[in-house]
Every structure is written in structure tokens, then in C-alpha cells.
Amino acid sequence: MSKNIFVMLVVLLVALASFVDGKKPAVLPELKKPSMMVTQGNELFILDGVEVYVYSLRDYRLLTKFGKMGAGPGELIPDDEISLHLRLVEGNIFLNSQTKMVHYGKEGKLIKEKAFTFVSMQVAPLGEGYAAVKVTPGGSVGAIKLAVVLCDSQLNPLKTLVSFDKDEAANFGKIVIPTPYIYLQCGKDTLYVWGGNQRDFEVKVFDKRGNPLPSIQMPYERLELTDSLKKEVIEWFKTGRFRNVPAEVFQRLYFLDYLPAVRNVAVAGSHSGDRVYIQTYKQQGGDSEFFVFDGHGKFLKRIFLPTASGDKIKINNETLFTFDGDRYYYLVENIDKEEWELHTVSVD
């Protein structure tokens, strides 16, 4: 091997190593408003509106994209408030709006679709059926009830696992912040549920038949929703997601006293089963606090990881990060250049 070729190889290896360590992010120019991301094998799947972009994790090259807005076969209509939900299982992609689920193959070929008999925020395959967040009207005008239900293969509800009524303030035309929605994540034959009106650090766990398993919980002091944070949230609303809404809407905001103990839950597979990453609202030097557990609820470690671009406060199911093996992938919006960057760091 000549000296010049050897030098070129060294330079290339150094460049690749620096990228893997998160020093050189990959620019993904196709993205406009991503809302969710998952990985499987050597591929990264990012949901942007109703489109799914598939990238190679080897060189971050766009492999394909699919998904279309509309009411036809394989098409979905997103809600202004609740983003579509993306779930990936063994090369199969499941997308759902509030009224319909679409099942694609890995290359974007439509396999089947199913309209719901109920309104749903999230649907995810679980065992031979599905787990879903079901939304029904409450007892008064503007009130709603949320429930996590186990469904059969045809999305017919079989039994309710968790349910609650949204905060009473919503019954009086208020917009409750943080919005007390229920969220779910599925591991390998295991369902993880959090949110609602819970106050403690707890993630409820169920097996694929809906039988309750020991919850993941620990003592945790919640953060106060301070006046300064309230101002940040309002400013974020006005300049971001709700910048086009009438000014009087902001007068309807009703802030709770404390932030939830659990902000997000991500589940990644490992050789020993599920690994559960629970994100809180606590930050340190711009990084977010994560508690890591195994699938049986055993505490493994506490880590701080770079905060992905996203909401100042969780108000829907958007999640701009994912875990795969020993890697943490996250998206950051470069506002000056109007582009999205993919970063990755090791979690071990």
C-alpha cells in the first residue's frame, strides 16, 4: 500500500469516527417538519407530515419515501393538534391518524388499512392484536375521556387497561398545559403506558394479553412549572406551533403547578430484552435527563443526553429521538439554514 493511499484511509477513518461521535451531523434536506423517528437494522425511518422518509444508517443516504395525504387507499389526513403515529415492527410500518390505520411493507407497499370504530391518538401492534389510545366524549361540553385499550387483529376493542378523564379545567374551555394525554410504547410483547393525570414517576407495564406487570417506578421530585417557564412556553406557542391562531386563544391557557415526572418513554431491544429509556424534564447544560431500566423495571443507570429539537413542553406524541443498540439518534433544527440535522452519540 502506498503512503498516499494509507494517509487517505486514515483521514477517512478519522472522519467517520468523528461523525459517529456526533461531531459532524448529517444534514437531511428533505425534512420539513419531522414528528417521529425509529430505527431498525441499518435503516432510519422518519415521519414528516404524512410521509415516511427511509435513510441508510451507514451513510445517511435517502433510500425511499412514501405516504400521501388524502382519503384514498393508503392515504391519511393528519389532525392539526395530534400528529400521526409511527410504529415499526419487523420491517412493517404502521401509521395511524385519529380515524384510520395503514400498514405498509418496508419498501412502502400498502399491505392493508383499517378504519377505526373509535377515535384514536396512537395505535401499535401488540401480540396478535393492537394497543390503542381511545378518545371518547366526556360528560360535559368540551370534555374527553382517554383510555388505553387492547384490540383484536381487526381493531375491535377487547378490554380497557388504563383510563381517565382529562383535567376539569378543560371542561370550562381552558387549554391545560401540560396537556394530560395518555401515551404508549410497545417493546417485544410488552406494553408501556404513561401520562394522563399521574403525578408520580411511574410507567405502567402490561404483557401482550393486557395482563398488568410490575410498574417501572421510583421516587422523584417533580419540577415546578415556574413563571419564567410559562413565559417561554407562551412565546414558543406564539412563534411556533400556534403562531397563526387568534390572540384570545392564549388567554385560555391553564398551567398546572408542576411538570409531570415522566416526559417521554423510548423502548429499544437488546440481547437481554427491552431497554427502557425514561426522559424527564430536568436538564443539565442543555442535556436531558434519562433513567434507563431493563424490561423488568430494574434500574440500570441515569444519564444526560443532548436534547432533541421539539416542544418546550409535551403536548402531543411527537418524539424527535430514538435509541438503537448503544446509539442515541436525535434531530436538531438548524433554524438559520432552515434544515434538519441528524446527530448521534453513544449511550454506553
pLDDT in tens, 135-178: 887 766 567 789 999 999 999 999 999 988 765 555 567 788 88
Cell 380497557 locates to 160
C-alpha 163/C-alpha 156 separation (Å) is 17
Residue 35 lies in a domain: no
Residue 98 lies in a domain: no
- Please tell me the predicted confidence (pLDDT) of residue 11: 39
More confident position, 23 or 309: 309
Q: What CA–CA distances, in Å, run from 21 to 16, 57, 200, 297, 343?
A: 9, 14, 34, 29, 9
C-alpha 166/C-alpha 145 separation (Å) is 6
- Please tell me the predicted confidence (pLDDT) of residue 246: 81
Residue 300 lies in a domain: yes
Residue 136 lies in a domain: yes
Tell me what percent of the residues of the chain surpass a pLDDT of 90: 56
Residue 289 lies in a domain: yes
User: What is the value of pTM for the model shown?
Assistant: 0.88
| Vertex 256 angle, CA 255 and 262, to 5° | 120
Q: What residue numbers bound the domain in which 309 lies?
A: 3-30+116-346
C-alpha 307/C-alpha 328 separation (Å) is 11
- Please tell me the predicted confidence (pLDDT) of residue 271: 55
> Which of 87, 169, 88, 74 lies closest to 120, judged by CA?
87
Residue 71 lies in a domain: no
Residue 190 pLDDT exceeds 50: yes
Torsion angles phi and psi, residue 197, rounded to 5: -105, 20
- Please tell me the predicted confidence (pLDDT) of residue 45: 96
Q: Are 278 and 216 in contact (CB under 8 A)?
A: yes
Computed over every residue of the chain, the mean pLDDT equals 86
For the chain, the domain total comes to 1
Residue 104 lies in a domain: no
C-alpha 33/C-alpha 84 separation (Å) is 12
- Please tell me the predicted confidence (pLDDT) of residue 244: 75
Kindly indicate the confidence band of residue 15, based on its pLDDT and cuts at 50, 70 and 90. very low
Kindly indicate the confidence band of residue 301, based on its pLDDT and cuts at 50, 70 and 90. very high
Cell 432510519 locates to 44
Residue 20 lies in a domain: yes
Lowest-confidence range among 47-51, 89-93, 227-231, 310-314?
310-314
